[in-house]
Amino acid sequence: MIIVIQCRDQVGLVASISSILARAGLNIVSMREHVEKEDNRFFSRIEAEGLALHEGWQQELRAALPPEASLQINPLPEKRLAVLVTREYHCLGDILLRHQFGTLGARLACVLGNHPDLGDLCRRFEVPFLHVPHEGRPREAFESALLDGLAPYQPDFLVLAKFMRILSPAFVAQYRHRIINIHHSFLPAFAGAQPYRQAFARGVKLIGATSHFVTDDLDEGPIIAQQIIPVTHRHRVEDMVRAGKEVETAVLARAMQLVFEDRVLVHRNKTIVFE
Amino acid sequence: MIIVIQCRDQVGLVASISSILARAGLNIVSMREHVEKEDNRFFSRIEAEGLALHEGWQQELRAALPPEASLQINPLPEKRLAVLVTREYHCLGDILLRHQFGTLGARLACVLGNHPDLGDLCRRFEVPFLHVPHEGRPREAFESALLDGLAPYQPDFLVLAKFMRILSPAFVAQYRHRIINIHHSFLPAFAGAQPYRQAFARGVKLIGATSHFVTDDLDEGPIIAQQIIPVTHRHRVEDMVRAGKEVETAVLARAMQLVFEDRVLVHRNKTIVFE
Amino acid sequence: MIIVIQCRDQVGLVASISSILARAGLNIVSMREHVEKEDNRFFSRIEAEGLALHEGWQQELRAALPPEASLQINPLPEKRLAVLVTREYHCLGDILLRHQFGTLGARLACVLGNHPDLGDLCRRFEVPFLHVPHEGRPREAFESALLDGLAPYQPDFLVLAKFMRILSPAFVAQYRHRIINIHHSFLPAFAGAQPYRQAFARGVKLIGATSHFVTDDLDEGPIIAQQIIPVTHRHRVEDMVRAGKEVETAVLARAMQLVFEDRVLVHRNKTIVFE
Amino acid sequence: MIIVIQCRDQVGLVASISSILARAGLNIVSMREHVEKEDNRFFSRIEAEGLALHEGWQQELRAALPPEASLQINPLPEKRLAVLVTREYHCLGDILLRHQFGTLGARLACVLGNHPDLGDLCRRFEVPFLHVPHEGRPREAFESALLDGLAPYQPDFLVLAKFMRILSPAFVAQYRHRIINIHHSFLPAFAGAQPYRQAFARGVKLIGATSHFVTDDLDEGPIIAQQIIPVTHRHRVEDMVRAGKEVETAVLARAMQLVFEDRVLVHRNKTIVFE
């Protein structure tokens, strides 16, 4: 059982939470907590085992927390996932493989692409693919078509697996802290378009990738995971692009794992990650 | 205040510990715990703040733990350190600098060298240096001279900062889990002598360093920290030695910091590190 | 055009090689060389562009090198690859994806498995899969069946993508320096069976993976690439296995890229890698 | 002997350079070259051994290169270094240690500080320290005092070892591509003041340090080396500062080594680093 808590901090919180679980006969396998001092916020993720001795412990737990607390017990045990793509296969391919072999941590419900290129790959894994073209349409119409495409699947999370369109605040608002993006730079360096071209021009010696929740501000959402690889003067832009794909795939996979295991809590524009 | 606990695991341990602290008015800033399932062992490190409301909480805490529990409250607030060296300056130099500027986390009481080479460096920082030659002496006499040299300083910890002699079980027994060594390989690869020569011969693409507690078995003690750096076919043995020194210095510094901040617990031949 | 040279070192080698190419009007885009001093061996990888002005330059080049020299011009422009697997999907899946999208650097001719489990995955990508069971057969018969399975495809390289059987010297001799293995440890640490179990028991703080050419000695062949990831006391064996798969996939992919781009030269039991 | 060349690229350059060296009886131990295609620039670093058979080879070499070529033979065999500091000891301490033990690769001529704090450390190593206060003086006067302080030592390179003042273009012009700075972020992320505070606010999961040549634009000069370390939600600003110091020291040391071994060539705003 996984319990995720976020609330105002107060003395005795760990004591009362752990006492309630102990009295219910639940064995704490892992208890992680963090206090953000400036905002006086308490965050916790608990893994517990065993059968509860009595039913009332969940009410007890809620009563022990401040009224504004966010308490989740076994949040979304089966998470439904939709993936948005454009043309690049590497992140989607990795997701399809993990899904096929039961190691994704979520059920891949569908894939939407603004280009048709990756439909064939999805069909190989019998995953529904919907081509939602963006060309010749205003963004509102495009996003409306995306939402229509998503509707039958009711996804809990969207993953932008190299989806090269910017989503409007109105769209993002429907999936608050539930859209995971992979950006092909070490944010906040090289936000925006063509980060590898920017990295090449600047002559950096490391390039990276960043997975983050999408918010209204492009490339400004809470960061979940980041990773880098070294580059040298021998790397042309296309070499960086190629090398970068490896780290993009790895970082997105890591971020999904963390999110789907309920290890990522969001506060303001930052994440608490209980690895 | 730092509280370090190791004992048999049982249901309700976190609850009772945190309740006792809460009743004493102590605010838990950070509480880390780990359960080693195979052995049913519980490990915890707690940082708490505030003035205790009543005196009896320490007794309460001890009473709440199993009788065999190890409980330390503010273990060795000022740790006294002795460093053993041979000829290489890089680890000792780093320690002297940190000590001089108050960032070592321990008080450097003295340095013992089986060669006189590093005496000059110690004198520059007004740290006592004692030359204890090993040549022409049986190991027993050498170790006896080391112990005599250490005696006036009563060190809590020994750091072997590239000390190129093997210590006997009898010597080690006097500082159980209190001797920190830096070995210039990624253990368990290349234990023993001349690890860089071994690494070169094997053609590895990464070399590393390992800091560990010293036990009776050479290079077999509980590992505290490890780190690696890439090497290529261009690295000759001497290049590996040079590059390796950087990572040796870094790993030893990291291990000392972790130990001196009471973040390292030992169980059997492994460490629990609450970073 | 790629030119790969290995021979005895002598003064003026770079001069004569580059002069011959210059006289032929070939433009050197990249010239990498290495001299192994102990053995007085010269290694070079040259990328050149342009159309040769005259035909005789290849003969000139050969004549300029010592008689025992290995000279390869555009070695195997299309490399044929066979992959041997057991049950784990992650490395094979990665290879199939790269092959499907033309980024593998080799043509995947067939996959052989000593278990049937991964046949379905291969069929999704229309890659021939042959089930060659090892059970109830002496190794000779098993290897003979493998060779029979490989025969129609005439592979240039074999990749052991988590193939859990040990190949005999007789088998290996048929693909000298052309069998690439991924071993799930940071060799030479934890050679042999169950490296993650060994790593857990030893309490290391980093785990790794090693890709190497297969030779007669198990896990002793020339290392092509290695990589590590950090682990903590929270990693149980199964967590190491899971985390390790990520690095195994990455290291094998890297090693294949290096080999298929003719960047890896072998000398004795080591590799020269012109990255 | 080290030979460093930068010039317009042309067919046959490697051939003519290596032929001249071969005819002079000089043995090429290592020859690294790079061609920047967009600008058609050729860069090379050659290590050669042996006694030249005739004197004229240097003139021959110059004649073989385009007139605008930069050719350096054994550039500054003993480099004189001045270090500018403010209050933080970690980079300076590392430099002093390496200098003391002959592993710095340059002769440390003097240290200038805009605060007096680090004078004591310099005196321990008998290195001249000059306190050049900046307070209450216009920048021109401050920089003029710095230049006066440097004058007797005629340094070839300046290292800004956590020197917290911005130097004017006029000052920088006097040491073009000869001032090495360490910036405590992964540039171009968090240029300017208080990068760790910026990093904390953004919630990044990696922090870094960048060593670069100083140009007129603050934090915009050619990057020599970069490195990162992971951080988590547990890192407050002061933890990042502390962890960052380790990587700052390491990156600056690495950059100095590369520069002092003549491995770093500058072209436009980027470096070619022949590691």
* A15/B12 CB distance under 8 A: no
Model confidence band, residue A40 (pLDDT cutoffs 50, 70, 90): very high
| Residues of chain A contacting D232 with CB distance shorter than 8 Å | 273, 275
CB A270 within 8 A of CB A224: no
* B97/D100 CB distance under 8 A: no
Which chain B residue has the Cα nearest residue A42?
B29
ipTM strictly over 0.90?
yes
Neighbours of chain A (3+ CB pairs under 8 A): B, C, D
* B225/C232 CB distance under 8 A: no
Q: How far is the alpha carbon of C184 from chain B, nearest alpha carbon, in Å?
A: 14
CB B185 within 8 A of CB B233: no
D:213-242 residues touching chain A, CB 8 A cutoff: 222-228, 232-234, 236
* A186/D189 CB distance under 8 A: yes
Residue B129 to residues A98, B95, B100, B149, B204: CA-CA distances in angstroms?
59, 14, 15, 10, 38
Q: CB contact, 8 Å: D193 with chain B?
A: no
Choice among C94, C156, C219, C262 that is catalytic: C219
pLDDT (tens place) for every residue of chain B, 275 residues total: 999 999 999 888 998 999 999 999 998 888 899 999 889 999 999 999 888 888 899 999 999 999 999 999 998 889 999 999 999 999 999 999 999 999 999 999 999 999 999 999 999 999 999 999 999 999 999 999 999 999 999 999 999 999 999 999 999 999 999 999 999 999 999 988 899 999 999 999 999 999 999 998 878 899 999 999 999 999 999 999 999 999 999 999 999 999 999 999 999 999 999 99
Model confidence band, residue C10 (pLDDT cutoffs 50, 70, 90): confident
| pLDDT (0 to 100) of residue D29 | 83
Residue D221 to residues A186, B5, B200, D169, D181: CA-CA distances in angstroms?
19, 51, 37, 12, 9
Which chain A residue has the Cα nearest residue C118?
A101
Choice among B148, B219, B239, B262 that is catalytic: B219
Counted across chains A and C, CB pairs separated by less than 8 A come out at 34
| pLDDT (0 to 100) of residue D194 | 92
CB B180 within 8 A of CB B200: no
Q: CB contact, 8 Å: A119 with chain C?
A: no
Q: How far is the alpha carbon of B226 from chain C, nearest alpha carbon, in Å?
A: 6
Length of chain A counted residue by residue: 275
* A14/B31 CB distance under 8 A: yes
Instruction: Output the furthest CA–CA distance in chain B (Å, rounded).
Output: 65
pLDDT digits (tens, 9 = 90+) for D51-91: 888 889 999 999 999 999 999 999 988 999 999 999 999 99
Question: Scanning the structure block, which residue is given the tokens 């209980």?
Answer: A274
Residue C61 to residues B265, C1, C22, C73, C189: CA-CA distances in angstroms?
64, 14, 12, 10, 43
* B19/A21 CB distance under 8 A: no
Select the residue of C188, C203, C236 nearest B222 (Cβ to Cβ).
C203
CB B83 within 8 A of CB B113: no
| pLDDT (0 to 100) of residue A17 | 94
| pLDDT (0 to 100) of residue D218 | 77
| pLDDT (0 to 100) of residue A105 | 97
Which chain A residue has the Cα nearest residue C124?
A124
| pLDDT (0 to 100) of residue A151 | 97
Q: How far is the alpha carbon of D225 from chain A, nearest alpha carbon, in Å?
A: 6
Question: Scanning the structure block, which residue is given the tokens 């010749």?
Answer: A136
- Mean pLDDT score of chain C: 95
Q: How far apart are CA B2 and CA B30, in angstroms?
A: 10
| pLDDT (0 to 100) of residue A192 | 86
Model confidence band, residue C50 (pLDDT cutoffs 50, 70, 90): confident
Q: CB contact, 8 Å: D124 with chain B?
A: yes
Q: What are phi and psi of A108, to 5 degrees?
A: -80, 110
Counted across chains A and D, CB pairs separated by less than 8 A come out at 79
Q: How far is the alpha carbon of B223 from chain C, nearest alpha carbon, in Å?
A: 6
| pLDDT (0 to 100) of residue C162 | 97
pLDDT digits (tens, 9 = 90+) for D138-179: 999 999 999 999 999 999 999 999 999 999 999 999 999 999
Sheet holding D70-73, edge to edge: D27-36, D41-49, D2-8, D70-73
| pLDDT (0 to 100) of residue A20 | 95
| Residues of chain A contacting C253 with CB distance shorter than 8 Å | 246
Q: Tally Cβ neighbours within 10 Å of residue A54.
A: 9
| pLDDT (0 to 100) of residue B218 | 77
**Cα–chain center distance at A49:** 26
| pLDDT higher than threshold 80 for residue A275 | yes
| Residues of chain B contacting C224 with CB distance shorter than 8 Å | 205
Select the residue of D14, D25, D27 nearest C18 (Cβ to Cβ).
D14
- Mean pLDDT value of segment C144-170: 97
* A11/B31 CB distance under 8 A: no
Q: How far apart are CA C60 and CA A252, in angstroms?
A: 51
| pLDDT (0 to 100) of residue D77 | 86
Give the list of residues 6+ apart from residue C189 with CB closer than 8 angstroms, or none.
B186, B187, B188, B189, C195, C199, C204, C208
Q: CB contact, 8 Å: C90 with chain A?
A: yes
